[in-house]
Amino acid sequence: MEGEAAILPPSGRKDSGSGETLTTLNGSQRVSFRGSDIHKKEYSNSNHANGALISDSSDRSSATSLPSLHVQLMRTHKKRDPFQYYEILQMLGDGSMGSVCKVKKRKSALGGSARKSFVRKQRRSIMKKILPCLSFCLPGGASEGTKRGALVAAEDYDDAPLHTLDANSETSNTTVSSGDRSKNQHSSIVSYRGDFRVVYALKSIILDQVTNDTFVKELRNEIDILRTLDHPNICKAIETYEFKNQVYLVLELCSGGDLYGRDPYDEVQARHIVHSILDACTFLHRKNITHRDLKYENIMFASPTSPNVKIIDFGLSKKYSQNEILSQTVGTVYTMAPEVIKGKYGELCDVWSIGVIAFMLLSSSVPYFGKSRLDVVKRIMDGRVSFKSRRWKDVSRQAKDFVTSLLVNDANHRPSCSDALIHEWFKGRKVSRANPNFSPSQVVSSAVMDRVQATIQTFAGYTKLKKLALYVIAHKSSADEIGFLQQLFRNRFDVEKDGVISLDEFKEALSVYSYTNDELEAMFHAIDIDGGDSLAYSEFLAATIEAHGSIEEGRIAEAFDRLDDDDTGYITVSNLTDFLGKEAPKEFINEIIEEADVSKDHRIDYDEFLGLWDGSFDKVLAECLKDVREKRVVRCSTFFQALEEGEDGAFLEEEDSVDIDGGNKGDSLESAPPGAGKFFFEQEKEKSMRGIWI
């Protein structure tokens, strides 16, 4: 093993060929990293897996992709009551036609019927080990009736913790799987906390109370669009329910509140938020989707302590064709672009809205205000913005120039989101003086980056089923479970800010390690789960999430339940066909089953599924970590490379006001009294705090 990167299947078994193996999900090859050499072994079936074999030149032009894989992550339930699976914790917003509430997954529903049987079996096993002690603790010993009663209680006690099964306990020294895996320990990365809670947001519309079909169309439109989106700054949709004339959408919970909740912001905070929104909208526009209702209320913080924001509420979003002209006047008036009011616009209406948001973040006031909707519209069409308030005196010239560049009435002269991202305002980043904990400038040490890379390298050697499982786990994980990986994706890997990692970006991000070009390409294709020739956000998380050091057994159970969509307690060929889509060859699906089917009954039960996280993982990860450390040739202590040229210190003085349409400097709206923008801002903030979402 000396000098090798031990890329092994989870069982720790070696291929019949020389060296250790790397089994891809979407490429029919096995690769052994041995120094700088790559040994490739083709399977006998040239159409195996996701397409053609990866040749020495890494030619994947004939590879078959799985385009519907990400869409399938979001599960649709018909005629199922969501409240059998979720318990309401808090009402977040309520209206006449529906509500939004914070919910948690019921323990009895966590992981489906298969996990419930597993939990009872494990508790019964634990009680059998404990019962002999009763003969010493109870007078006269324990009767058979007492023992039987204790066993029954252990089976029926759903809230009993499973932490006794953690990696340090005697019980965990034998994995639950049978066959060869019975000799291996559970991986120490799997946590069996008894207090694990899966919390989401549940959005509903009561169809009986909807007199306007528009609201129903908006929710269904939101569902259809969210299925296709995978970006760190866009709220994830988990599943939907349709029950008794109601439509329910289960969403990632953004528990940090909207942008009003943390106002005021300093310039560093404002810049980070605007940059994140531009990132997300660049991704949307490249998928020909425009949001059309970007505003303070629809930008949420991921958690109470997180600086990361996510865009929500895609009910008014629109999927458009190339060069399509949109005409529907939708949105919220204070962020509405002039061309939307005119009824002839495209995706650049989002850029205007981002300009309004940037203005508000920097000044705690709105650029266009009035006593009525008509007054606001007149000011928007007039097209001038003023920087007269005291807050603007401490704002940099670059920030003001950025705002004016976006708030241009003529959309033909307005930059795209991708162009706005290269504005000089974003060229340097510094720590927020007002709130250092807010700043996105997270330092990642070489040791942490080494572990991330070792996890990627280890993931490349997993069985196909384990890769799919981690893909589902990544999709459902919360902001706290993902942690710094979101920033790592955005600021070290996705340098083009298009929401995906290309092969060139992957190579550049790992240039601090002495991998050969062939090694990097093989690793990239091995973690490209859907075969799309780029790494989406969830694929990146799937390959790196174990770097955090702990995965809850509840998350593994939820992944099993997603794949076992008919709740039979087994993952079958039919289940995988539904999940992977019709594009997946039958031979590929059969091999997924065979890799994990210890009992040889051509289906995977929960014991076998959990057995994918056996003790061999720890050894393989340790070997990979050793290899990665040896390969590191450049120490990279941070993934925010723009930090070294921060704009600490004074900024140039700016004029009091700017006329976007080229008027004289110093001009202002005659009817705009001092503080009027702040007053309108406070009005909108009060509306947001009422919690009326629908």
Report which DSSP code applies to 235: P
> Which pair of structure tokens corresponds to residue 655?
């004029």
Handedness of CA 181, 126, 188, 522 (dihedral sign): positive
Q: What distance in Å separates the CA atoms of residue 550 and residue 429, rounded to the nearest whole number?
A: 31
Q: What distance in Å separates the CA atoms of residue 14 and residue 3, rounded to the nearest whole number?
A: 17
Alpha carbon separation from 511 to 489, 494, 539, 623, 637 (Å, rounded): 15, 14, 20, 20, 14
Cβ neighbour number for residue 87 with a 10 Å cutoff = 14
Q: What distance in Å separates the CA atoms of residue 439 and residue 431, rounded to the nearest whole number?
A: 5
Coil/strand/helix, residue 425: helix
Q: What distance in Å separates the CA atoms of residue 119 and residue 565, rounded to the nearest whole number?
A: 20
Contact 319, 289 (CB under 8 A): yes
Q: What distance in Å separates the CA atoms of residue 510 and residue 493, rounded to the nearest whole number?
A: 9
390's enclosing H/E stretch is none
Residues 6+ apart with CB under 8 A from 20: 4, 5, 6, 7, 8, 14, 32, 33, 461
Contact 294, 350 (CB under 8 A): yes
Q: What distance in Å separates the CA atoms of residue 210 and residue 218, rounded to the nearest whole number?
A: 12
Residues 6+ apart with CB under 8 A from 233: 276, 277, 279, 280, 308, 309, 310, 311
Nearest CA-CA partner of 448 in 478, 489, 484, 493:
484
Q: What distance in Å separates the CA atoms of residue 540 and residue 116, rounded to the nearest whole number?
A: 31
Q: What distance in Å separates the CA atoms of residue 243 and residue 202, rounded to the nearest whole number?
A: 14
Nearest CA-CA partner of 478 in 110, 198, 273:
198
Cβ neighbour number for residue 208 with a 10 Å cutoff = 10
Q: What distance in Å separates the CA atoms of residue 351 and residue 426, rounded to the nearest whole number?
A: 16
For 216, counting Cβ atoms within 10 Å of its Cβ (0-12 exposed, 13-18 middle, 19+ buried), the class is middle
To the nearest 10°, report the CA torsion of 265, 269, 272, 276.
-40
Q: Which position has the token pair 């007039």? A: 382
Report which DSSP code applies to 13: P
Q: What distance in Å separates the CA atoms of residue 632 and residue 618, rounded to the nearest whole number?
A: 21
636's enclosing H/E stretch is none
The catalytically annotated residue of 258, 279, 293, 528 is 293
Residues 6+ apart with CB under 8 A from 372: none
Report which DSSP code applies to 366: -
Active site residue 195: no
Q: What distance in Å separates the CA atoms of residue 616 and residue 611, rounded to the nearest whole number?
A: 10
280's enclosing H/E stretch is helix 267-286
Coil/strand/helix, residue 88: strand
> Which pair of structure tokens corresponds to residue 471?
């893909």
Which residues are designated catalytic?
293
